[in-house]
Amino acid sequence: MEQAIGVFDSGVGGLTVAREIMRQLPYESLIYFGDTARVPYGNKSAETVIRFSKQIVRFLMTKNVKAIVVACNTASALALSSLQEEFDVPIIGVIEPGAVAAVKSTVSKNIGVIATEATVKSGSYNKCLRILDPKITVVSKACPLFVPLVEEGLLEDRITDDVIQRYLHELKDYQVDALILGCTHYPLLRNAIGRYMGEEVKLVNPAYETAKALKALLYERSMLNEDTSVSPHHAYFVSDGVDNFIKFADNVLPADVKMTSLVNIESY
Amino acid sequence: MEQAIGVFDSGVGGLTVAREIMRQLPYESLIYFGDTARVPYGNKSAETVIRFSKQIVRFLMTKNVKAIVVACNTASALALSSLQEEFDVPIIGVIEPGAVAAVKSTVSKNIGVIATEATVKSGSYNKCLRILDPKITVVSKACPLFVPLVEEGLLEDRITDDVIQRYLHELKDYQVDALILGCTHYPLLRNAIGRYMGEEVKLVNPAYETAKALKALLYERSMLNEDTSVSPHHAYFVSDGVDNFIKFADNVLPADVKMTSLVNIESY
């Protein structure tokens, strides 16, 4: 099936998921939407995140996508089941793939989850992890300062190390041996977080696992693009700030970002 | 005139302006709108901030307000002139009152401005200060971590002191003697900022100056409410998270916040 895969996020963070999909599914075309006019979602209510997510899926459906990846942890946590109920296209989120990988990796059965306030409050990772293995203990922590620190470029900085220590010392007390980086920005702090948590703690990046899950889903349903002679076509849409988006995307993605268009998402 | 005054902000920060208006104009009714579904505005484009602000003014006009205060620095910087052109009601922002107070206070003629990225980039404070006194040197600095630090409650904290030092040391080098706190959240860091900048630097809070300017405007145009026998009526509207808003507002405002309603602002 030559139709594209739709990928969306509250902003630019989901590009790390898009990058993994491009790596693992190099013949698939992508339509990416970033809701840069209304970013962030992480401190907003479920009702609002569901409403915004439905508008985005309606927009992606106009592009005739064959499947949709909710690349935003908050939207996956709060809106995935509502989207799956309403729309007739396979839709996957980042929570379940991340949880599966963490359960595979843990020995102590103590798993840490760091995410936005809305994701932590939703309990979605907890529920998913407990279904996979009821013996697991989950320790969750909202880390609202991580996204602004990443956006300020303070990836290696004393201030960031201080904030990491402040947020994560509880997780150390619980002796977690797997830590889910439950927000698309957090993998950019992987080195600093890894240094603090220590080598024995496996850091799980749901982006990688989600691309793997998408590949399995498309394969099972015979929806993979089989024409490998034509290069895939990637298109990008945002609700604000095309230039800023292109600058960021060019740093994250393996290829140059050419086509980025502005969408009035509120009208969908 | 018994009609209410409309006050709006990207979120809850503008309540500090509403509080000053309540103190200085105790007989005036207020209609407050906080765009909590799309907060923050400080890293968004002028086009988007103008579009959002126009939707909000259209909503406030349905409440028959006699004047509007743009309590958000970013919206004042990017959208005020567009709003004044389009709507037939007096509209004031926070930039000019803040600039007037800073010019009155400075002796060295070196004024610092700290604000969001969008406000700094707009150059609005610069323009306004230079019109008031062409001899003034303005040193501006965007401080994107201040809002999340305030929202994490780290008002008195080593991490906050570190971030303040990082952002403000340049302003110290320029020997500013007046510093405009150009974002509604920043006055909550007044103690920590004052400690770092030193007693000789006057911290200017545009909220106080804006309420004064509003009072002068209503007086000049004979628009003050003259019936002082009835208590004013304050109503609050948000685009997301009514409960969170009430919790925050009850801490900021002198009276209990009873009436808060949800508005689908995208439909205006």
In this chain, the answer to whether the domains covering B5-94+208-267 and B95-206 adopt an identical fold is yes
Predicted confidence at residue B167, as pLDDT, reads 97
Confidence at B139, pLDDT banded by 50, 70, 90: very high
Matching CATH number, B5-94+208-267, of 3.30.465.10, 3.40.50.1860, 3.60.15.10, 3.30.460.80 = 3.40.50.1860
Tens of pLDDT along B232-249? 999 999 999 999 999 889
- Tell me if A38 and B38 make a contact (CB, 8 A cut-off): yes
**CB distance from A151 to chain B under 8 Å?**
yes
DSSP at A199:
T
ipTM of the prediction: 0.93
Confidence at B259, pLDDT banded by 50, 70, 90: confident
Predicted confidence at residue A81, as pLDDT, reads 97
Q: How far is CA B26 from CA A183, B21, B38, B67, B94, in A?
A: 45, 7, 30, 16, 20
- Averaged confidence pLDDT in chain B: 96
> Could you tell me which CATH number the domain at A5-93+208-267 has?
3.40.50.1860
C-alpha gyration radius of chain B = 18
Place of tokens 């201030």: A159
- Tell me if B145 and A144 make a contact (CB, 8 A cut-off): no
Q: By CA distance, what is B242's nearest residue in A?
A: A45
Q: Point out the residue among B45, B48, B144 whose CB comes nearest to the CB of A148.
A: B144
Please tell me the distance in Å from B158's CA to the nearest CA on chain A: 9
Q: Which residues of B fall within a CB distance of 8 Å from A183?
A: none
Extract the residue ranges of chain A whose pLDDT is less than 70. none
List the domain boundaries for chain B. 5-94+208-267, 95-206
Q: By CA distance, what is B146's nearest residue in A?
A: A148
Predicted confidence at residue B71, as pLDDT, reads 98
**CB distance from A56 to chain B under 8 Å?**
no
Predicted confidence at residue B227, as pLDDT, reads 86
Tens of pLDDT along B169-212? 999 999 999 999 999 999 999 999 999 999 999 999 999 999 99
**CB distance from B76 to chain A under 8 Å?**
no
Kindly state the average pLDDT of the residues B160-175: 95
The packing angle between helices B95-105 and B73-86, to 10°, is: 120
- In order, the DSSP letters of B208-227 are HHHHHHHHHHHHHTT-S---
Tens of pLDDT along A77-98? 999 999 999 999 999 999 999 9
Q: Which residues of A fall within a CB distance of 8 Å from B148?
A: 144-145, 147-148
Kindly state the average pLDDT of the residues B106-114: 97
Is the pLDDT higher at B88 or at B257?
Answer: B88
Kindly state the average pLDDT of the residues B245-268: 90
A128 annotated active-site = no
- Tell me if B162 and A158 make a contact (CB, 8 A cut-off): yes
Place of tokens 């920590």: B192
Predicted confidence at residue A237, as pLDDT, reads 98
**CB distance from A61 to chain B under 8 Å?**
no
Predicted confidence at residue B36, as pLDDT, reads 97
Confidence at B6, pLDDT banded by 50, 70, 90: very high
Query: Please, what is the end-to-end C-alpha distance for chain A in angstroms?
Result: 26
C-alpha gyration radius of chain A = 18
Is the pLDDT higher at B255 or at A243?
Answer: A243
Kindly state the average pLDDT of the residues B250-259: 85
How many C-beta atoms lie closer than 10 Å to residue B243's C-beta?
A: 9
The whole-angstrom separation of Cα B183 and Cα A176 is 40
Predicted confidence at residue A170, as pLDDT, reads 93
How many C-beta atoms lie closer than 10 Å to residue B59's C-beta?
A: 22
Confidence at B142, pLDDT banded by 50, 70, 90: very high
Predicted confidence at residue B73, as pLDDT, reads 98
**CB distance from A117 to chain B under 8 Å?**
no
* CATH fold for domain A95-206: Rossmann fold (3.40.50)
